Amino acid sequence: MTRDRSAAVLKLLRPSVQALPLYDPGADPEQVAQHCAGQPLLKLSNNENPLGVAPAALAVLRDYRPELLGLYPDPACLALRRALGERLDTDPAQLIIGNGSENLLELLCLAFLDPGDRVVTQSPCFGLHEIFPLMMAAQVTKVAPHADFSCNLGAWRSALAGPSKMLLISNPSNPLGTIFDQQTLVQLIDASASDTLLVIDEAYYEYACADPDFPEVLGLLRAQHRPWIVLRTFSKAYGLAGLRVGYGIASDASLVAALDRVRTPYNINQLAQQAALAALGDQQHVARSRAFAAQVRAPMIEALGAAGFQVAPSRTHFLFIDTGVDALEVNRRLLEQAMIIKAWREPGYETCIRMTLGRPDDNARLLAGLQRAVQTLR
């Protein structure tokens, strides 16, 4: 009976969904902890903030009146949009709040992509940058970097020479942590057709925005006479990954109105709205998080290089490492040591892992464990 029902489900399922790869969130920390009893768990897989939640958000959560949970939240997230608008010098009508920034990417794909439309993005990429377009039966063209992880501008121009509905750029890149500078970003935008929707995913913006090479993207895009949207999140530098709040800054209010047509009402809960509003005012925490990442990043890149690993030149709080051996096997051996990283499965990067930068002792432990794991595989 179960087999018959499964067959019936598959028969009804859209072909594009049947073929979708599953997003891999990484190993379950509780299961790893149970399997490795006695060893302290080290989770460096999901790019969470090692400094934790913004203190201002914690204060709001502690003082929250639980009886308010019986009421629906503001469906328009008006207070948060107004605060963001003031900070970004942007009309709140050009802002949209999502259940994480990936929710906004999903809405963009639902609203704008038809079967057969082409999306151009980078490789390696955040899994949902490929999964959501494929969900809509769109075609995804991915552009790989050079062997040293630098931008292959010629490959981008070739990919953008044909018609495309959406240009999806992750800056800083997830998983590489690298950035497109202002000149390169302008060249990529100029290489795309004027009727292509520009989507810039800046989930890790706060970690790179102080870098002199990082582009001031809003000023750049506001000079464009075409539709665009920039995606950012409270999950990373603000430390609110568990509450799921992201936001989009759009070229005009009509783009936000289009996304509202496919957005579920009340998509951001009360706690998340209040915590995000408080966190936005806690720029000291963001600055501390950025400084901490810069402090631990350079020594870890140097140590990994000295150990013989190739590392992408990250400007964020995570590293993309070529181990030279099967990343899934590396991951398995690290799990045996109670360490969780992200093994990359994208074709062409099967020897690569991504790790979140932790505190110095955590990074040293990971490096030692990584060396042990790789030695057993060579």
Give the end of a domain, one of 283, 302, 337.
283
- Cα–Cα distance, 162 to 154 (Å, whole number): 14
Q: Determine, yes or no, domain membership for 302.
A: yes
Domains identified in the chain, total number: 2
Q: Determine, yes or no, domain membership for 164.
A: yes
What are 264's strand-pairing partners?
none
Give the end of a domain, one of 267, 283, 299.
283
Q: Are 199 and 334 in a shared domain?
A: no
End-to-end CA distance of the chain: 47
Q: Are 319 and 212 in a shared domain?
A: no
Q: Determine, yes or no, domain membership for 3.
A: no
Q: Are 278 and 350 in a shared domain?
A: no
Q: Determine, yes or no, domain membership for 9.
A: no
What pLDDT sits at residue 141? 98
Looking at the chain, which runs of residues are DSSP E strands? 42-43, 95-98, 118-122, 139-143, 166-170, 197-201, 228-233, 246-250, 310-311, 318-322, 339-340, 342-343, 352-356
Q: Are 121 and 224 in a shared domain?
A: yes
Q: Are 212 and 295 in a shared domain?
A: no
What pLDDT sits at residue 1? 57
What pLDDT sits at residue 239? 98
Q: Determine, yes or no, domain membership for 257.
A: yes
Angle at 313 between CA 311 and CA 319, to 5 degrees: 55
- Cα–Cα distance, 120 to 158 (Å, whole number): 11
Give the end of a domain, one of 239, 256, 283.
283
Print pLDDT tens along the chain (378 aa).
Answer: 567 788 888 889 999 998 888 898 888 888 887 888 778 999 999 999 999 999 999 999 999 999 999 999 999 999 999 999 999 999 999 999 999 999 999 999 999 999 999 999 999 999 999 999 999 999 999 999 999 999 999 999 999 998 999 999 999 999 999 999 999 999 999 999 999 999 999 999 999 999 999 999 999 999 999 999 999 999 999 999 999 999 999 999 999 999 999 999 999 999 999 999 999 999 999 999 999 999 999 999 999 999 999 999 999 999 999 999 999 999 999 999 999 999 999 999 999 999 999 999 999 999 999 999 999 998
Cis amide linkage into residue 124, ω under 30° from 0: yes
Q: Determine, yes or no, domain membership for 13.
A: no
Q: Determine, yes or no, domain membership for 18.
A: no
What are 319's strand-pairing partners?
355
Range of the domain at 234: 55-283
Q: Are 136 and 241 in a shared domain?
A: yes
Q: Which helix (H) or strand (E) holds 164?
A: none
- Cα–Cα distance, 22 to 222 (Å, whole number): 36
Q: Tell me the two tokens of residue 4.
A: 């018959």
- Cα–Cα distance, 29 to 35 (Å, whole number): 10
> What's the CATH code of the domain at 198?
3.40.640.10
Work out the angle between the directed axes of helices 270-280 and 78-88 (0-180°, nearest 10): 20
> What's the CATH code of the domain at 37?
3.90.1150.10
Is pTM beyond 0.85 here? yes
Q: Are 268 and 335 in a shared domain?
A: no
Q: Are 217 and 322 in a shared domain?
A: no
Backbone φ and ψ of 356, nearest 5°: -80, 140
Q: Are 92 and 191 in a shared domain?
A: yes
Q: Determine, yes or no, domain membership for 6.
A: no
What pLDDT sits at residue 52? 97
Q: Are 182 and 225 in a shared domain?
A: yes
Q: Are 236 and 143 in a shared domain?
A: yes
Q: Are 171 and 182 in a shared domain?
A: yes
Q: Pairing between strand 228-233 and 197-201?
A: parallel
- Using CA of residue 141, residue 147, residue 151, residue 154, what is the dihedral sign? negative
